[in-house]
Amino acid sequence: MTQNLKTKVLIIGAGTGGYVAGIRCGQLGLDTVLVDGGDGLGGTCLNVGCIPSKAIIHAAGKFETVAKAAGGGTLGITAAAPAIDLKQTVEWKDGIVRKLNAGVAALLKKAKVRVIKGWANFEDAKTCVVKTEDGDIRITAEHVILATGSEPVELPFLPFGGDVISSTEALSLSEVPKKLVVVGGGYIGLELGIAFRKLGAEVAIVEMAERILPLYDKALTDPVAKWLENHGVELHLGARAGGFGEGKLSITTRDGEPLQLDADKVLVTVGRRPRTQGWGLENMGVAMAGPFVKIDNRCATSMKNVWAVGDLTGEPMLAHKGSAQGEVVAEIIAGHDRVFDPVAIAAVCFTEPEIVSAGLGPNDVAGRDDVIQSVFPFAAIGRALAIEAGEDGGFVRVIASKSDHRILGVQAVGQHVSELSNSFAQMLEMGAVLEDVAGTIHVHPTLGEAFHEASLRSLGHAIHI
Ligand SMILES: Cc1cc2nc3c(=O)[nH]c(=O)nc-3n(C[C@H](O)[C@H](O)[C@H](O)COP(=O)(O)OP(=O)(O)OC[C@H]3O[C@@H](n4cnc5c(N)ncnc54)[C@H](O)[C@@H]3O)c2cc1C
């Protein structure tokens, strides 16, 4: 028998978009039901994305540090050669995920959000049936927030299964592959490829574009390319992957030559696509924008009181974008006057070294003579040298308007620069001018001093260069 349920707000998907929307709805006193059919609260990001990948990247970094010490060391520290039991590493990572799953569950409970585990299928814009272990529940809502997220793109000639894996399987391997081929040189492939190289795998990357991380400008990606070269990662740029069989991946090189690459595992990371199929979206009457659900600056779809947040709504497909949208939608439903109109959504690649990009980059301002661009290298920052982060070609770059000095974009490449990303975004969001950063006393010794110095440099008076 189907149970019937009525609620003010129904959220589909408990990823960073959906669960944050749920908590905020609860805080605002809205009767809210959150439905998720995935593996755990927190969606892709918490279970098979941001958090597990950063945990594995962290473990790989530790392993590499010990391996370096075993190889002679550079700091007067030596050690015996490290060994890794990847099963234990994965168990440690799973423990973090479980802890955070429980944390999200507790926060939703505190906010009095009712969580239903099961897959939702929409009959019309405001009604869905959820298949749960205890039977079907038909839910009708005044407001629906769609937060169904995204899934990895599969190549038809290289379907997932066996030794052809997506990032999800890569984060739960029981041993480090001897030979790993990564198809797709975007941020997910590179983050994982670099981590497995640090853990001792022989890694090759096959990328169709002429360089890795093609969405970032070349100056930002050069230090990462250098790291790959120095660590023996084989790069096949301008190349196309073909089929896989008997431990060999066929590729066609830039020159059109066929080549076979040995591989124990082939990790396919050629992108993610919005999850729009298989849950009745077609019955809801919402307009699409290409493959994504179309929304306006309030995250409203074309159907009244149906809202959409997160990866489902388009680029950038980043966790923090979805949560920010989720908060906005909850507040709008509660009657607040809000729009989702960020000045910048910073993006980070947790590669080696790391990359941050916020606001306009050099490609966005190419050909404009009304902007100033200044770069300050980490090689001239004491803190960077003291933590071995000054010698990989890293820098902070500031782009500002020539006339009023308003900061338009900030980028950085270097170790640990992910931690600077919020300071970049804050300055952009607050409409800061170069003088605001230049006039802020930056703590010494920190990596953030490079942002200060890059701003001073734009004003013509950097101190340490
Ligand atoms: C390996 C990897 C690393 C990443 N690293 C980062 C990073 O460092 N930083 C960053 O910002 N982003 C990162 N991302 C991207 C990030 O994970 C996504 O942007 C984010 O998870 C999107 O959140 P979302 O709420 O839109 O959807 P999702 O997190 O995808 O959640 C959607 C949820 O909806 C559920 N669902 C879907 N349809 C239904 C239905 N019909 N019924 C019930 N439940 C349903 C799914 O099971 C899922 O739990 C990474 C992604 C991957 C794969």
Ligand 1 midpoint to CA 412 (Å) = 26
Residue 247 marked in a binding site = no
Ligand 1 midpoint to CA 83 (Å) = 32
Q: What is the per-residue pLDDT across 5-58, written as a single tens digit (0 to 9) for each? A: 999 999 999 999 999 999 999 999 999 999 999 978 999 999 999 999 999 999
266 within ligand 1 shell (Cβ under 6 A): no
User: What is the rounded CA–CA span in Å between residue 87 and residue 111?
Assistant: 36
- Split at pLDDT 50, 70, 90, the class of 174 is very high
Residue 444 falls in the annotated catalytic set: yes
Q: What is the pLDDT of residue 39?
A: 78
Q: What is the pLDDT of residue 72?
A: 85
Closest C-alpha to 113, from 270, 267, 326, 290: 326
Characterize 160-196 residue by residue with b for buried, 16 or more Cβ atoms within 10 angstroms of its Cβ, and e for exposed.
Answer: eeebbbbbbbbbbbeebbebbbbbbbbbbbbbbbbbb
Query: Taking residues 423-433, what's their average pLDDT?
Result: 98
Q: 148 forms bridges with which residues in the sheet?
A: none
User: What is the rounded CA–CA span in Å between residue 86 and residue 174?
Assistant: 6
Percent of the chain with pLDDT over 90: 98
Query: What is the phi/psi pair of residue 400, to 5°?
Result: -140, 160
45 within ligand 1 shell (Cβ under 6 A): yes
Q: What is the pLDDT of residue 382?
A: 98
- Split at pLDDT 50, 70, 90, the class of 136 is very high
Q: For the domain bounded by 347-458, which CATH number is listed?
A: 3.30.390.30
Query: What is the phi/psi pair of residue 337, to 5°?
Result: -95, 95
Closest C-alpha to 17, from 367, 210, 377, 275: 275
Which SS3 state, helix, strand or coil, does residue 442 take? Answer: coil
Residue 139 has pLDDT above 90, yes or no: yes
Characterize 13-22 residue by residue with b for buried, 16 or more Cβ atoms within 10 angstroms of its Cβ, and e for exposed.
Answer: bbbbbbbbbb
User: What is the rounded CA–CA span in Å between residue 271 and residue 31?
Assistant: 36
Q: What is the pLDDT of residue 349?
A: 98
CATH among 3.30.360.10, 3.50.50.60, 3.40.640.10, 2.70.170.10 for 164-270:
3.50.50.60
Q: CA-CA distances (angstroms) from residue 405 to 362, 409, 433?
A: 16, 11, 5
18 within ligand 1 shell (Cβ under 6 A): yes
Pocket test for ligand 1, best of 19, 33, 35, 50 (most atoms within 8 A of CB): 50
Q: 32 forms bridges with which residues in the sheet?
A: 9
Q: Which residues contact 145 (CB under 8 A, 6 or more apart)?
A: 9, 10, 11, 12, 18, 21, 307, 308, 309, 326, 329, 330
Q: CA-CA distances (angstroms) from residue 29 to 145, 147, 246, 300, 305?
A: 16, 20, 58, 21, 18
- Split at pLDDT 50, 70, 90, the class of 73 is confident
Ligand 1 atom 15: residue of nearest CA:
318
Query: Taking residues 394-408, what's their average pLDDT?
Result: 98
Ligand 1 atom 39: residue of nearest CA:
148
Compute the mean pLDDT over every residue in the chain, rounded to the nearest whole number.
97
Pairing of strands 135-146, 306-308: parallel
Q: Half-sphere exposure (CA, 13 Å, Cβ side) for 425? A: 16
Rg (the chain; Cα; Å): 24
Q: What is the per-residue pLDDT across 193-224, written as a single tens digit (0 to 9) for each? A: 999 999 999 999 999 999 999 999 999 999 99
Active-site residue, selected from the candidate residues 231, 444, 452, 464 = 444
CATH among 3.30.499.10, 3.60.15.10, 3.40.50.720, 3.50.50.60 for 3-55+87-152+273-333:
3.50.50.60
Q: What is the per-residue pLDDT across 304-345, written as a single tens digit (0 to 9) for each? A: 999 999 999 999 999 999 999 999 999 999 999 999 999 999
Token match 């308003």: residue? 406
Residue 74 has pLDDT above 90, yes or no: no
Ligand 1 midpoint to CA 15 (Å) = 5
Residue pair 257/242 in contact (Cβ under 8 Å)? The answer is: no
- Split at pLDDT 50, 70, 90, the class of 71 is confident
Q: What is the pLDDT of residue 385?
A: 97
User: What is the rounded CA–CA span in Å between residue 438 and residue 417?
Assistant: 19
Residue 187 marked in a binding site = yes
Sheet of 407-414: strand order equals: 347-349, 354-359, 407-414, 395-401, 371-377
Q: What is the pLDDT of residue 206?
A: 98
Pocket test for ligand 1, best of 11, 44, 48, 299 (most atoms within 8 A of CB): 44
For the chain, which residues make up each domain, given as ranges?
3-55+87-152+273-333, 164-270, 347-458
Angle at 140 between CA 136 and CA 146, to 5 degrees: 95
User: What is the rounded CA–CA span in Å between residue 361 and residue 355?
Assistant: 13
Ligand 1 midpoint to CA 187 (Å) = 15
pTM across the whole model: 0.97
Q: What is the pLDDT of residue 1?
A: 79
Domains 3-55+87-152+273-333 and 347-458 fall in the same CATH topology: no
Q: What is the per-residue pLDDT across 253-306, written as a single tens digit (0 to 9) for each? A: 999 999 999 999 999 999 999 999 999 999 999 999 999 999 999 999 999 999
Q: What is the pLDDT of residue 183?
A: 98
DSSP per-residue letters across 136-175: EEEEEEEEEEE---EEEPPBTTB-SBTTEE-HHHHTT-SS
Omega into 177 within 30° of 0, i.e. cis? no
Residue 188 marked in a binding site = yes
User: What is the rounded CA–CA span in Å between residue 18 and residue 361?
Assistant: 30
